[in-house]
Copies of this chain bind each other. A is one copy, B any other.
Amino acid sequence: MNILLKTLCGFAYVTMAVSVPGKAQAEPQASHVEACMPCHGEDGIAPASDVPNLAGQNERYLFNQMMAFKSGKRPHKEMRYMARYLSKSDIEALAAYYAALPPR
């Protein structure tokens, strides 16, 4: 019983650490993260000062901006192109991934 309780608590802890409240959060596809890297850095810290760091940025902000790039609401030729074939759940996964990375 004690072991079961510990296992359940451990599971709850891990689930809380990686998920958005109320829903399961998938890892982003490796190819999607790789597509971000040249401009936003391997670890979400951009090598150029005119490109934003993504590491530790707020998750909902990242999600909203990617959706806005995809729709063209936030105009940005390259980012619109990058977001074009990403689904809403792909973007959710990317936003959660970068929000969870440690900031500079």
Contact = CB atoms under 8 A, between A and B. Distances in A.
Interface residues of A, dominant DSSP = loop
Contacts of A61: 46, 49-52
A60 interface: yes
A51 B56 contact: no
Given A73-B75, A74-B74, A103-B103, A49 B56 contact: no
Contacts of A59: 49
A103 B49 contact: no
A25 interface: no
B57 A52 contact: yes
A53 B49 contact: no
A10 B64 CA distance: 44
